[in-house]
Structure 1
């Protein structure tokens, strides 16, 4: 799972970064609302842990823009404001959940798991890349109208790449998001499954839909 922490308190940001990384999550940190919003627009995150009180652009405005622009990420708002009205405003503003400071790390982890389980942002029903069409709801994939038989992990890997089409996705992010693995520099499982997918979705007379970005990871092209 790819998580962005937007928190201006360096102590809290460092604590979250180290703690979540130790749990196997891929974590990035930004320390103000302006940089946080730019990062969310540029990259793909499964979850944003968003402080409400931020420099330049506050968390409520960042949350509003994320929802207005339909950026596909869950939002867990983190704040020192703990009144009922503040929580209501945060949830109405587009947050998927709301946790008050100070908080127990175990509670934060439990909320992340709950958010991931229920999902927060609606993905497109049909994903397309070249002549490949993936129907997430029906769990079907076809190539030029012909159904493809994929294993569960092949399907999940393809879906993740198609959701992030035309964006470079690192091997570590794929490990975290598709396999729930922490950092393991020795594993070749991502590369192995990419080979499996290429054999099933690529055409012999055309470039691969999944490009290798040397030293980084892979990118699915829409073509």
Structure 2
């Protein structure tokens, strides 16, 4: 899941981004309205967590502009303006999909972002299967030949993409965009290391192949 956090308070923006990344989301951060607009033009985000009081362009204006796009991300307004009239205005007049006043509970924010993401994309199969590997997205569980297998959030997200590809190769850049974010150093071995650990947990051998120039695929 790709998320943009548009928040001009650097500490809060960093904390939100870090927390969402720990939930297997790829998160970018914008600290002004014009930066947020530019990033939305370049990247297909599923959800934008948007502060209303951004500099240069306000979050209200960004929300209106996103609403005019034929294929737009879901917008969650996250703001200190928490009165009933503010929430009604944000949902009805600005066209936001959800509205969370500050201060907020982080677990609730994660749940709301996940809910918006499900609305933004076609529903994934309830359970993904391949040669004894079973991944249940709703329960966040993986079994291999019937045995529960513990995966890190990144490993789970990579496996989900590989399973969804149905045996086709998933390019390295697609994994970076969906599972990591724009700040990942292109020279890093993070993707390769994650795939290597995932391969070992799934039984080792050639369960995941590395196709030079194409990406990674599930074998069998």
Query: What TM-score do the two structures reach when normalised by structure 1?
Result: 0.60
Aligned runs of 1:6-155 on 2, under 5 Å?
Answer: 6-92=6-92, 93-117=94-118, 119-120=119-120, 153-154=164-165
Hey, what's the Cα distance between the residues in 2 that align with 1:75 and 1:156? 33
Please, which of 172, 175, 184 is the counterpart of residue 171 of structure 1? 175
Change (3 A) 1:28 1:99: same
Hey, what's the Cα distance between the residues in 2 that align with 1:29 and 1:190? 33
The residue aligned with 2:128 is none
Q: What are structure 2's unaligned runs of at least 5 residues?
A: 123-161, 181-189, 197-207
Q: What are structure 1's unaligned runs of at least 5 residues?
A: 123-150, 162-167, 177-182, 198-223
RMSD: 3.3
Hey, what's the Cα distance between the residues in 2 that align with 1:195 and 1:26? 19
User: Residue by residue, what CA displacement relative to the aligned partner does 1:101-157 show, whole Å, maximum 9, x if unpaired?
Assistant: 00011110111122223x1479xxxxxxxxxxxxxxxxxxxxxxxxxxxx9712698
Hey, what's the Cα distance between the residues in 2 that align with 1:194 and 1:28? 23
SS at match of 2:75: strand
Change (3 A) 1:72 1:152: farther
8 Å CA contact 1:73–1:121 kept in 2: the answer is: no
Change (3 A) 1:45 1:169: farther
Aligned residues: 156
Change (3 A) 1:114 1:184: same
Tell me the CA shift for residue 43 of structure 1: 1.2
Tell me the CA shift for residue 174 of structure 1: 3.7
Hey, what's the Cα distance between the residues in 1 that align with 2:191 and 2:52? 34
8 Å CA contact 2:75–2:96 kept in 1: the answer is: yes
Change (3 A) 1:76 1:2: same
Tell me the CA shift for residue 25 of structure 1: 0.9
User: Residue by residue, what CA displacement relative to the aligned partner does 1:46-79 show, whole Å, maximum 9, x if unpaired?
Assistant: 1110001110111111011011123431111100
Hey, what's the Cα distance between the residues in 2 that align with 1:54 and 1:22? 25
SS at match of 2:117: helix
Tell me the CA shift for residue 195 of structure 1: 6.9
Hey, what's the Cα distance between the residues in 2 that align with 1:88 and 1:157? 45
The residue aligned with 1:212 is none
